[in-house]
Structure 1
Amino acid sequence: MAGISDLLWNQDIGASAYREGPTGSVQYQSAVIEQYKLCVEMADRVSARRNLANTFFLTLNSGLVAAFGAWRSGRSGNGLPVLLLLAGLVVLLGVCAAWWFTVRSYRQLNEGKFKVIEALEERLPARAFVAAEWNALEKGQNWRVYLPLVHVERWIPLTFALAYVLGFAALVR
């Protein structure tokens, strides 16, 4: 199977495909740098969208819990039908599952983008963004140096789901 670099570089287009003479090479390098900048910008946008998705799911979960609490406090008596509680639990767990898969999807998308950025850096004078920075951060393997956000954010939906299951168990006792 072809590697990222093999798939990234168009073998039919090189510095010779640009204007003849010494400026052809300069134009080619300029095109590579512009594509690199675009890829880095798109990776940053994916991260921003991931943060918005996390904010949406956190707000949704908080709103659903607040609405349930307000609805429950307005009712006289303690008993709620178990089927109603179970339906609410299923909805909440569904939201948590959607959140978890969304975080996972954004992580996978960014991993692909960073592989492309790393392959682009092979043709640049400095490999600062992926190669140098990632190695300086020990590739996220030492939490004292750098703890990647994805390691934290993937546990949040699971924590909410566990809290919902425990809350359900407490309410049906």
Structure 2
Amino acid sequence: MVSQSANLASRLWNTSVTSQHYASPGAEKYQAAVLEQYKLYVEMADRISARRSLTNTFFLTVNTGFLAGASALGRFALREVPVWGLSVATLVVLFQCGVWLLLIRSYRQLNRAKYSVIGELERKLPALLYGDAEWGELGEGRSWGRYVRLTNVELAVPVVFAALYLVAVGVTVAMR
């Protein structure tokens, strides 16, 4: 455990930034500006994550509603809805699952870029919180035992919904 703690300390503290960097004339204003930009940028990254969560909640709600509606129509859909109607409805829900996947991918790319910038900003600060320390503690996302990347979980959900839609339509058409 001691070596793990020492390893964290070596990743956390930026040895290229020392107290001398805060002592020279003008350094205080420069460091204050870097810190202010850092705080602002971390806040922006948090807002992106919040929007990502809201987007996922929206699509989860829409898809749950679609499935509930399809279940409620059950026998009616078996007898009354023409195959072309089921096909159009299936294409619509599959399209929105595709849009959901693209949005997740876009948010992942945006977050990756933001956290890379945060990591670079930290190079001007005494501590390397996100890019080196936290990410290192999580094994850089390489091991599911230490950290499961949220994007991997997020991407599975629209795929599961799409599969459910295809199975439901397949069963409906087969039972006709």
**Residues 73-92 of structure 1 mapped to structure 2, 5 A cutoff:** 73=75, 75=76, 78-92=79-93
8 Å Cα contact 2:101-2:155 kept in structure 1: yes
Equivalent residue, structure 1, for 2:119: 118
Paired position in structure 1 for 2:20: none
Asked if 1 retains the 8 angstrom alpha-carbon contact of 2:77 and 2:172, the reply is no
Matching of residues 97-116 of structure 1 within 5 Å: 97-116=98-117
Structure number with the higher helix fraction is 2
- Distance (Å, rounded) in 1 between the aligned partners of 2:38 and 2:77: 62
Count, aligned residues: 152
SS in 2 for 1:154: helix
Inter-partner Cα distance in structure 1 for 2:26 and 2:145? 46
Deviation at 1:70, TM superposition (A): 2.4
Query: Aligned pair in 2 of structure 1 residues 29, 92: CA closer, same or farther (>3 Å)?
Result: same
Counterpart amino acid of residue 61 in structure 2 = T
Measure how far apart 1:151 and its partner are: 1.0
Within 5 Å, give how 1:50-65 maps onto structure 2. 50-65=52-67
* Deviation of the 1:23 alpha carbon: 5.2
Letter in 2 for 1:139: E
Q: Is 1:96–2:97 an aligned residue pair?
A: yes
RMSD (Å) for aligned C-alpha atoms: 1.7
Which one scores higher on RCO, CA 8 angstroms, separation ≥ 6?
2
**Within 1, Cα distance between the matches of 2:50 and 2:77?**
44
Secondary structure of 1:117's match? helix
Q: Indicate if the aligned counterparts of 2:78 and 2:173 stay in contact, CA closer than 8 A.
A: no
Segments of 4+ moved more than 6 angstroms? none
Alignment correspondent of 1:132 = 133
Report the CA distance between 1:81 and its aligned residue: 1.1
Q: What is residue 166 of structure 1 aligned with on the other side?
A: 167
Residues 132 and 70 of structure 1: is their aligned pair in 2 closer, same or farther, counting only changes over 3 Å? same
Q: Percent identity?
A: 45
Amino acid at match of 2:43: E
Q: Which shifted more, 62-71 or 131-140?
A: 62-71
Uncovered stretches (5+) of structure 1, i.e. residues with no partner: 1-20
- TM-score norm. by structure 2 comes to 0.81
Instruction: Compute the TM-score of the two structures, normalised by the length of structure 1.
Output: 0.82
